[in-house]
Amino acid sequence: MRALPSLLDLVASRITDETQLNKLKNLVTNLDAEHKESGNAALEKAEANLKWKKQVERDLQNYYGIPSDDTDSAVTSTVSLIIVTICSVIDVIGF
Q: Is the pLDDT of residue 29 over 90?
A: yes
Question: Domain range holding 63?
Answer: 4-93
Please give the share of the chain, as a percent, with pLDDT higher than 90: 39
pLDDT of amino acid 70: 53
Q: Is the pLDDT of residue 1 over 60?
A: no
Contacts of 40 (CB under 8 A, 6+ apart): 28
Contacts of 14 (CB under 8 A, 6+ apart): 84, 87, 88
- The counts of H helices and E strands in the chain are 4, 0
pLDDT category at 95 given cuts 50, 70, 90 is: low
Angle of the 33-64 helix axis to the 74-93 helix axis, nearest 10: 130
The domain tally of the chain equals 1
Q: Is the pLDDT of residue 68 over 80?
A: no
Query: CA torsion 30→33→34→38, rounded to 10°?
Result: 60
